[in-house]
Every structure is written in C-alpha cells, then in structure tokens.
Amino acid sequence: MEEATEISRGKVALRLLENTLLVEAFESVEEKYKNIWLNSRPTEVDLREHAYLLLNASKELKGYLTTLINTGKMAATTQAQRTDQEQRERRVLESDGSPTGVSGFGNP
C-alpha cells in the first residue's frame, strides 16, 4: 500500500478511536458482555461463550484500528525522512553542484 494511503488510513483510525461516541459505544458493549460473562450461571455455557467471543471481537477491532494508526505513523516518519534526505541532497547540489561537496578539480 502506498505511504499516503497508509497515512490517511492511520489518521482516520485515530479519529475513530478518539471519537467520544465510539469510545462510549465500545465501553458500553464491553461492559455489557463482561457482565453477562461474569454473571452467567454455570449451566449457561453457550451464553458465556457468546459473550466471550463478542468481548474478544471488540478488542480485535480496536487492535486493528491501533495497527492502522501505528502503520500510518511509521509511513509518515518514513515519508518525512525521505523528504528531509531529498532536501539535503538538493541543497548540496545547489550549493556546489557536487553530491559530496567537493568538485574534484582545482579549488573545492
């Protein structure tokens, strides 16, 4: 995937995880299924399994969004480093016409 796309997806994922309504929804759903899981009767195996799976699905979704955020941050860092390197190389070439800063002939 292109860096710009990864950066964009990371920013969207960050906005989602910072969205107070979505955070509230995650917390509410997780609390509901945690209570179902913890307060189920010993005979309610299927109910506990269902609650457990839904809790894990919620955590997995948040984990996926977190991965997108981290990937976007790494892509932004790589892009910034590449841009900095290109600017440094351009300045060197503009200053003396030689990538090493030494012309190789006569006075440097």
pLDDT in tens, the chain (108 residues): 899 999 999 999 999 999 999 999 999 999 999 999 999 999 999 999 999 999 999 999 999 999 999 999 999 999 989 888 888 888 877 776 555 555 444 444
Q: Burial letters for 23-42: b for 16+ Cβ neighbours within 10 Å, e otherwise?
A: eeebeeeeeebeebbeebee
Tell me if 8 is assigned to some domain.
yes
- Count of structural domains within the chain: 1
Tell me if 12 is assigned to some domain.
yes
Residue 15 phi, psi dihedral angles, 5° rounding: -60, -40
What are the helix and strand counts (H, E) for the chain?
3, 0
Q: Whole-prediction pTM value? A: 0.74
Query: Given this model, what pLDDT does residue 105 score?
Result: 42
Tell me if 107 is assigned to some domain.
no
The range of the structural domain enclosing residue 37 comes to 3-96
Tell me if 17 is assigned to some domain.
yes
